[in-house]
Amino acid sequence: MLSHSTMRRLIVVFAAAFGFAVLSASPAQAATKLVSANNVKSVIAYLKSKGDTVTQGESDVGNVMLTESDNLYDVHFDCDDNHTNCSAIQFRACYADYPNANLEKTNALSRDYFFGKSYISEEGYACIELPVPTGTGGISYEALDRAFDAFLWFRQNTDEAFN
């Protein structure tokens, strides 16, 4: 016969195990789509879900890079020296048609907004970037939506920011 305290411990262990099994099998969790810099196809699928089409290429340093079909932005991947184990993506757009863009305006954009950064490239382009750490395991579509929406806002308001 089991003692009262042993029986109580067993009930707690079984209840915890049952609760964990129910939670890990929940449909909401199973349906969560993840985006990971370590899985290029997941990034492409995410962008496709937003109505964007991208082509896959390679950056100057040899990492994967995606270019949006209308050339409105690129997606760069932060990977290790072997171009594997990617843990972040970076949305980037650079514009040659803003001759009034200057250090003061780009600094103001970087300083005044929580998301993104801006700068003048070596070629004189006005650029905006938004890095998104995904880890190798990924983040939810919902989490990436917040960053991607902020990047789109920056992109759509470049006239105001740089003119």
pLDDT tens, residue by residue, 68-121: 988 789 999 999 998 899 999 999 999 888 888 898 988 988 888 877 899 999
What pLDDT is recorded for position 97? 85
Question: How far apart, in whole angstroms, are the C-alpha atoms of residue 152 and residue 84?
Answer: 27
pTM over cut 0.85: no
Torsion of CA 17, 29, 42, 94, to 10 degrees: -120
Radius of gyration of the chain (CA): 22
* β-bridge partners, 90: 76, 131
Look at residue 58 and tell me whether its pLDDT is greater than 70.
Answer: yes
Look at residue 30 and tell me whether its pLDDT is greater than 80.
Answer: no
Which CATH fold topology does 33-162 show? Yope Regulator; Chain: A, (3.30.1460)
What pLDDT is recorded for position 2? 39
Look at residue 153 and tell me whether its pLDDT is greater than 60.
Answer: yes
What pLDDT is recorded for position 32? 85
At position 87, the amino acid (one-letter code) is S
